[in-house]
Structure 1
């Protein structure tokens, strides 16, 4: 778990911290854990993992029974630290690493697979926007105010047997707070001030209000939030040629949501949601409007759920810097499932369906090839797909349960695909549970990737670069994953250890392209030339990826005042398409997180956190030559909370205590914010 950490040299230069220092830190932590356990007496009473999750199997069950590797970020976790960008908090979970798009905002990667392979859900409804709108955006983790999040469930590993396409890497499900039987409200304001005056400060304000209109029958909830992060100034030193890499550009988000919950009787509930969001990331504007209607029923045979959802995402700017080319995507879906306990064989069956229609209007890029007869024929494309799924949890004995499942997806352009899963949960004793399984998953091409009428400028220039187009000849991507590990809870300690291996085939790729007009015909995906001579390249299936590794976590409650936690992830993710396997970018091999919470008094809490990333590649050319690597580094945070009254809490802290940072030297590189000061005021009633 402990390896190489960077330290700070003179201004913005990262230097590796000698490994012996981190070793001493780890040994000290281990010694402290042993001391705490010795003082608390023998830990011979099992501690049940009572956390209830819903994402792994489509029904509520205890974490230790869930047929998957799951981590949970609680509401308390969200309140302990500033969370302007939710991806940053997700990056502290084992198995999660962060990618960096061109604007440096992080994307969520699960087990070494890119953010396009992570399915984002809010209360079980998908909200992915990255692949639908334009390449390289960062809009998938900010559609709900953090004040209204009850918990976040992160399922690592393929979940296509339940959720279909996009869940090859796993699922992040944001669970919002229920309305409740009593009125409640909250308001929060916070700010983060950078020590470096050239770096951008942050501000956030949010509110929520919920309660019954008619007791036990009708309830309402209203939520809203606004956050802003100013653009960086000249935080990077100029290179030898005098050019200077930009820092993080401005971010401004606003959100508003309303929910109406109707409970006609004790067996049924109907929930209607309306949400609207506007996000401005470095001048790229995205608006999203969404509605949903959900019915839940509890019947004599089991439970049922039926959900209609629709959203429209408007990209007001487009995807090319310096141009304004709006596009619009809409998705309509209808899904349902039933959970049925079966006495014979002690089974629990989940079965359901999913119907989805996606549509994209892009007058600038859905035009066909310039100079051809089909040019400007239609600015729209759409796709329809449906699916049936079933999972059966069979409890063989009190200690052993096996889950078998499959999902059949039928895609309008790519036909039918099965995504089977088999998983076993075995309780070795009251404290230790063994888990393992095999899953297959698939991911269909996006509307852009699969449409030959879609095209976009690329290769760094809108006039003398190259041109990329979609293709109806590409195949869906498929993934096979295996995992095996254990989960334990005994006395004050709990944690887990999981080994995983994922093989991804037919990865859809567009990295093979060049502006060199003479060299272009030598590329396999070369299509031809535009009338002005720019070479054209199409999306293609070329890549196979293997990602394997280890996830470890540990937590302890030595007393009511202390909460300790740690996790470690080892990831070996490589592109295995060519003769020589190449590392994937933004995948540090070693990631470790340490944390501690101390309730000093009944009103004062103190929290500390340390995150460490080993060296990672930020640029890997397909030739394997001239790779660019970023040195490893560690960041420490210290925050405090003071409950002034029962209704008012003041929080503050210092983020990146030691001010470890570095220059961004290439366009593929990214900055970590230096030392900054956090202050928040939270009121509830």
Structure 2
């Protein structure tokens, strides 16, 4: 098994704020970050070949991000406003990994490296208008524009993929060598925060999205809160959410390849299969509902919320082929699945034990999280998660913290949805419940300088990844052991 993979992070951020007059400010922000991994030898299929072993301790991928933003804020007699123009540029350099067989997910000797480049340009603005039209209310109006581009030359390095040749069907939009894709979209939104009496607030909202490839969509929402008593509040809401396919899911020039583990086992396998983008996808939609109670007794507070999200047209990789290439390999594409549901309960409890000691606990309990077509879980998650934190402010400068997290059992999947084949019984291994604890201490030398040190995973609980779900069930991740950290913060 591989050890824990680390990272080298370098970050620098700057903010220049100019107060134009008492009502307006102009902020210019710039940031740069670099994250390079420290390879520990872990691969998708636990392949420890000589080349992979020689890379242990070195960087096999580096992520760099540059971001700039110009923001204007106004606070006028008629209301407030905010407008911004932002640009970010992300470069992801990585050694090419094997695409199939025992080398899948492992850096390949002699395959070189590629850099993918993602650029986003975003313009946004909104105004908040206090009104007295029958009820006291604050109307929010706004909009945003997004232009995004992705250039990933590594996505077309499989030279044997050539639809449209030798009498084979053509793939709409496919062009050998076209490694760049882009998309433009905009949105308009309105929300009104209405005080209906002294105890009730109702917030209707409406958002319109327009995407150059996927057309328009209306997303309404309605939220409300009502004070049942001076200390007990009932809150609830319902909203329609909308998500367009990302740049590679809709791009017929973006390829993923499998020698067999990602192909339907019930179909003849000759040389594996390709998964390509589909320009005819439909956007994902969901109806999200929640209702809950919040109790505020001053020294202690508690809340519980029930939530349910019903998804439609969820985007997945198809396991049924469109056609075969001349070499026998199958061509599959991203498609819209049926329905899925995520349902659960979230809660929080806070109490000030003494003027200097706070105890805060939150939990999440999952009632359901599954694909309606197959009954399989959408992801491997604990049945419930509990987080608890004690904060002790020993002096005005010194603070101490003790925190703990408990994860309930995580059940293994029974069906490989990519191959449409049941996992072997021996591979359906659950992750047993476990807990982690941490401690830290912070000291403020002044309002400008502070330091914090601590230990994560105090009792050195470790979980080792045993492989992918085909042979390891839910044991597909590492839980790192004990780790020490220290940070220094300076502001001026």
> What band does the TM-score fall into relative to the shorter chain?
0.7 to 0.9
Residue aligned with 1:616, SS: coil
Shift of 1:422: 0.2
Q: C-alpha offsets along residues 69-95 of structure 1, whole Å, 9 cap, x if unaligned?
A: xxxxxxxxxxxxxxxxxxxxxxxxxxx
| Residues in 2 aligned to 1:293 and 1:548: alpha-carbon distance in whole angstroms | 39
Taking a change above 3 Å as real, the CA distance of residues 271 and 643 of structure 1, as seen in their structure-2 partners, is: closer
Q: 1:270 aligns with which of 26, 33, 40?
A: 26
- Residue 370 (structure 1) aligned with residue 162 (structure 2): yes
Taking a change above 3 Å as real, the CA distance of residues 347 and 319 of structure 1, as seen in their structure-2 partners, is: farther
Aligned residues: 428
Structure-2-length-normalised TM-score: 0.80
| Residues in 1 aligned to 2:449 and 2:147: alpha-carbon distance in whole angstroms | 46
Note the 1:562-581 alignment, pairs <5 A: 562-578=357-373, 580-581=374-375
Taking a change above 3 Å as real, the CA distance of residues 263 and 547 of structure 1, as seen in their structure-2 partners, is: same
| Residues in 2 aligned to 1:329 and 1:493: alpha-carbon distance in whole angstroms | 46
- Residue 529 (structure 1) aligned with residue 330 (structure 2): no
- Residue 325 (structure 1) aligned with residue 114 (structure 2): yes
- Residue 638 (structure 1) aligned with residue 439 (structure 2): yes
Q: 1:587 aligns with which of 357, 375, 381?
A: 381
Shift of 1:365: 2.1
Q: C-alpha offsets along residues 135-186 of structure 1, whole Å, 9 cap, x if unaligned?
A: xxxxxxxxxxxxxxxxxxxxxxxxxxxxxxxxxxxxxxxxxxxxxxxxxxxx
| Range 328-337 or range 357-366, more displaced | 357-366
| Range 413-422 or range 458-467, more displaced | 458-467
Taking a change above 3 Å as real, the CA distance of residues 260 and 547 of structure 1, as seen in their structure-2 partners, is: same
Shift of 1:594: 1.5
Taking a change above 3 Å as real, the CA distance of residues 269 and 645 of structure 1, as seen in their structure-2 partners, is: closer
Between Structure 1 and Structure 2, the one with more strand by share is 2
Gaps of 5+ in 2: 40-59, 98-106, 166-173, 263-269, 470-475
Shift of 1:560: 1.7
CA contact (8 A) 1:573 1:584 kept: no
CA contact (8 A) 1:452 1:470 kept: yes
Note the 1:508-657 alignment, pairs <5 A: 508-510=315-317, 512-513=318-319, 523=320, 526-578=321-373, 580-601=374-395, 603-617=397-411, 619-620=413-414, 621-622=416-417, 623=421, 625-626=423-424, 627-641=428-442, 651-657=452-458
| Residues in 1 aligned to 2:298 and 2:388: alpha-carbon distance in whole angstroms | 20
CA contact (8 A) 1:587 1:616 kept: yes
| Residues in 1 aligned to 2:464 and 2:276: alpha-carbon distance in whole angstroms | 35
Residue aligned with 2:253, SS: coil
| Residues in 1 aligned to 2:489 and 2:186: alpha-carbon distance in whole angstroms | 44
Partner of 1:361: 151
| Residues in 2 aligned to 1:594 and 1:383: alpha-carbon distance in whole angstroms | 43
The Cα RMSD (Å) is: 2.7
CA contact (8 A) 1:542 1:577 kept: no
Shift of 1:440: 0.5
- Residue 305 (structure 1) aligned with residue 95 (structure 2): no
Taking a change above 3 Å as real, the CA distance of residues 306 and 461 of structure 1, as seen in their structure-2 partners, is: same
| Range 261-270 or range 644-653, more displaced | 644-653
Q: Indicate the structure whose relative CO is greater, using CA pairs within 8 Å and at least 6 residues apart.
A: 1
Partner of 1:221: none
